[in-house]
Amino acid sequence: MSQIGYGVLLLCLCVSVYGAVASFIGARRGSRRVLRSGTNALRVMVDLVSAAVAILLYLLLTRDFGVAYVYQYTSTHLPFIYTVSAFWAGEAGSWLLWLWFLTILAAIAVRQSERLGKIGPYILATLAANQAFFTLVLILIANPFETMASTPMEGVGMLPLLENPGMVIHPPILFLGYAGYSIPLAFALAALMSGEVSSDWVKAVRPWNLLAWISLGLGIIIGAWWSYVELGWGGYWAWDPVENASLIPWLIGTAFVHSAMMEERRGMHRVWNLVLAILAFVLCLFATLVTRGGIIVSDLHGFARSLQPIAYLLMSFMALILGVGSFLIWRRRHRLTSERQMENPISREGSFLLTNVLLCGMALIVVVGTIYPTFAQTVRGIQISLDASFFDRATGPLALALICLMGICPVIAWRRLTGDGLRLLLPAALGGILSAGLLLVLGVREALPLVSGAISAFVVLSLLSILVRDVRSRRRSTGESYVRATLTMLSRARRRYGAYVVHLGIVFIAIGVTGSRTYKSEQLIALNPDESTTIEGYELRYRDYSVQTLNPEPETYQSKVRFSTTLDVYVDDSRVATLTPQKNYHYALENPWVTEVAIRSTLKEDLYVILASLEDDGLAAFQIVINPLITWIWIGGGVLLLGTAIAAWPSGRRRAEER
Partner 1 sequence: MLSDLADCMGDSVSTSRPSTNGLMTGGRLKFFIGGAIIFVVLAWLIVTNIGGASAQYLSVEELLAQGPSDQMVRVSGLVSGETIDWDPQRLVLRFEMADESGSIPVMYEGVRPDMFRDGAQVVVEGKHSSDGVFEANNLLLKCPSKYVEE
Comparing CA positions, the residue from 192, 338, 329 lying closest to residue 262 is 338
- CA 35 – CA 116 distance, rounded (Å): 14
Pick 159 or 577: Cβ nearer partner 1: 159
Least distance CB 654 / partner 1 (angstroms): 28
Q: Please, what is the minimum distance in Å from the beta carbon of residue 564 to partner 1?
A: 16
**Based on CB atoms, which residue is closest to partner 1, 226 or 508?**
226
Q: CB of residue 614 vs partner 1: minimum separation in angstroms?
A: 9
Minimum CB distance to partner 1 smaller for 369 or for 407 = 369
As measured in angstroms, the least distance from the Cβ of 156 to partner 1 is 8
Torsion of the alpha carbons at 145, 150, 153 and 156, rounded to the nearest 10:
-50
Residue (121 or 171) nearer to partner 1, CB: 171
If you write DSSP's letter for every residue of 238-251 in order, what string do you get? ---HHHHHHHHHHH
348-375 and 270-292 helices, crossing angle to 10°: 30
Amino acid letter for position 321: I
Min CB(404)–partner 1 separation in Å: 15
Give the span between the Cα atoms of 20 and 38, in whole angstroms. 7
CB of 470 to partner 1, least distance (A): 31
Nearer to partner 1, 227 or 435 (CB): 227
* Minimum gap (Å) between residue 102 Cβ and partner 1: 22
- Regarding beta strands 560-571 and 521-527, do their DSSP bridges make them parallel or antiparallel, or are they unpaired? unpaired
Which among 571, 581, 573 has a CA at the least distance from the CA of 602? 571
Residue 357 or residue 422: which is nearer to partner 1 going by CB?
A: 357
CB-nearer residue toward partner 1: 211 or 363: 363
C-beta closer to partner 1: residue 380 or 659 = 380
Is 166 exposed, middle or buried, given 0-12, 13-18 or 19+ CB atoms closer than 10 A?
A: middle
Q: What does 432-475 look like in DSSP terms, one character per residue? A: HHHHHHHHHHTT---HHHHHHHHHHHHHHHHHHHHHHHHHHHHH
**Cα 243 to Cα 246, 249, 515, distances in angstroms:** 6, 11, 21
At 574, is the secondary structure helix, strand, or coil?
strand
Which lies closer to partner 1 via its Cβ, residue 473 or residue 613? Answer: 613
Nearer to partner 1, 349 or 470 (CB): 349
The enclosing H or E element of 568 equals strand 560-571
C-alpha distances (whole Å) from 480 to each of 112, 467, 469, 486, 490 are 38, 15, 14, 9, 14
Contacts of 206 (CB under 8 A, 6+ apart): 260, 264, 648
Q: What Rg value do the Cα atoms of the chain yield, rounded?
A: 27
Residue 234: CB minimum distance to partner 1, A: 11
Helix (H, G, I), strand (E, B) or coil at 81: helix
Beta strands in 26-133, from DSSP E residues, in sequence order: none
- Judge residue 40's burial from the number of C-beta atoms within 10 Å of its C-beta, 0-12 exposed, 13-18 middle, 19 or more buried: middle
Residue from 372, 314, 280, 383 nearest 141 by CA: 314
Q: CB 584 → partner 1: shortest distance, Å?
A: 10
CB of 448 to partner 1, least distance (A): 15
